[in-house]
Every structure is written in C-alpha cells, then in structure tokens.
Amino acid sequence: MIIASIPSPAQSQIEIGPLTFHFYALCIIAGIIAAVFIGNQRYVALGGKPGVVSDIAVIAVPSGIIGGRIYHVITSPQQYFGANGNWVEAFYIWQGGLGIWGAISLGFAGAYLAYRRSSRTEQIPFARFADALAPGLLIAQAIGRWGNWFNKELFGRPLDAPWGLEIPIQYRPIGYSSSQTFHPVFLYESIWCTFVAILLVTYFKRRNLAAGSIFALYVALYSLGRGVIESIRIDEANEILGLRLNIWTSALLVVGSVMYLRNLNLKTRSAIE
C-alpha cells in the first residue's frame, strides 16, 4: 500500500500567447545560467578576467547540446530509425534525450578551442579553467534533471515507498502497467550531482591537487554515481554482455579518470621534488 509518493507534473509545457515553453528546455536553460554564474565566480577568484566564462559558453554550450543529442541518437537509433521510428524526431530536443557523455565530450572540445583562441585567457591555463567550471557543471546537471521529471521520464524499477514517483499508465514501459510508483532516478542523480559539487568545493579544495584534478574528479565521481543509477533504470537501452551501454561507459570513465588523476599528481609531485 502506497502511503505517500512524488506526483508527476500535470503538464510539461506552458503556452503564453503564440509561444510554447517546454519545462525540459527551461530546466536546461536554468542549469546553463547557474553553470556560467558559478564558473565565472570561481574563474575570477583564480585571477581570471570577468566575462571570459560567458564568452566561452557561447561556443561550449551549443557544442555540448549538439554532442549530447548526437550521443543519445547514436545509442538509441531504434527510437528514430527503427520500424516505428520517425527520424525527424531526432531534432526534437525539447522532448528529452541528451546523452551526458556526448555533451561533456563535445562541450569540452568546444570550450578548449574557444579558450585557446581567446585573447583574454593567457594568464590562466585551460586546466585551471576546467577546474573552475566543474562544480557549476554539476549544479547545471542537477537542475537539468528536473526536466526529466516534467517529461515523466528517467525513472527506475517499481518502488513502493514514500519517495516513489507516480507515473501515469501511458508513460510506463511495457510490462509495468500494473505498477504505480517507481524509483525517481532523476532525483537520485540530481542529489548525487549536488553532493559531488559540494565535495569538490570543500574537501578536495584543500587537497593541493594539480591543475586539472578537480575536473578529473568531477568526471570520475559523477560517472561512479551514474553507473550505479543506471542499474536501476528500466527504460529501453542498448546492452553489451547484459549490461546497459551507459554502465560500461561509466565504468571506463571512472577507471580512465582515476588513472589520469593519479598520473597527473604523481608527475606534479615529482617535478616539485
């Protein structure tokens, strides 16, 4: 018996005159604003010039969105190119579907190129710039995940608990029509991102790590949580050896980031000695 639960929003968009605003997109925009604001504060604290983060975001944000969508479409091709798919919907970003790995990869590449080409960044190395951005990116992801709540997506296995997420029957996967509440995976990831962001600006700030370490920790810790969260999800996904593709991706990124972090700091300590 369900004592309490988290309700799903009654609507996922709002119309004001001739304009339609999708809450998923609004959450993404709110996250971007937060990331730019936090990143700018941290970058200026390092001695950087105000406004640089905003300038870089003009290139990095569209690159990240494009990368995220490409990753999502490539890893879920049947949804758009399968028997019942519609390839045009691959461009319907407001309906959800941004793969974080693609967003980070192409967004990072766009930021790197824009940073190197800027005439106002010569005094701060890109590694420090990336470190300054990392906590804000996590907060952006935490905010953006609430867009999945409005879209009634990103939920996990059935859950009969006070924090279970109510999902209308038309949004439930095949085989789960009799279940009413599910794990609120979007909420788990939002909380994890916030926790890691706080950890980066408190505990790891005092560890005297080499430049680039905070960003590497961001990738490692987020990937660790994401891998665990992926194991709860029940939406359709491509699998390799019985495990969701994103679990494998998370595991590889955790290992790669930790190895990079270790080697980076060993080299820095050796240079100092």
* 2 assigned to some structural domain: no
Q: What is the mean pLDDT of residues 86-108?
A: 79
For residue 93, pLDDT beyond 80: no
Residue 269 has pLDDT above 70, yes or no: no
* 223 occurs within a structural domain: yes
7 located within any domain? no
Contacts of 35 (CB under 8 A, 6+ apart): 57, 133, 136, 137, 139, 140
Question: In this structure, is residue 216 part of a structural domain?
Answer: yes
Within-domain flag for 6: no
Please give the share of the chain, as a percent, with pLDDT higher than 90: 60
CA distance 185 to 256: 25
pLDDT reading at 2 higher than 60 = no
pLDDT of residue 169: 93
Domain presence at residue 1: no
Residues 184 and 229: their CA atoms lie apart, in Å, by: 10
Does residue 8 lie in a domain region? no
Structural domain tally of the chain? 1
Question: In sequence order, what are the beta bridge partners of 166?
Answer: 181
| pTM metric for this prediction | 0.89
Residue 56 lies in a domain: yes
pLDDT tens-place string over residues 134-184: 999 999 999 999 999 999 988 999 999 999 999 999 999 889 999 999 999
Q: What is the extent of the structural domain holding 28?
A: 13-272
- Supply φ then ψ for residue 15, to 5 degrees: -110, 130
**Amino acid identity of 22?**
H
pLDDT number for residue 123: 82
pLDDT in tens, 233-264: 998 778 888 899 889 999 999 999 999 999 99
**Cβ atoms of 103 and 145 closer than 8 Å:** no
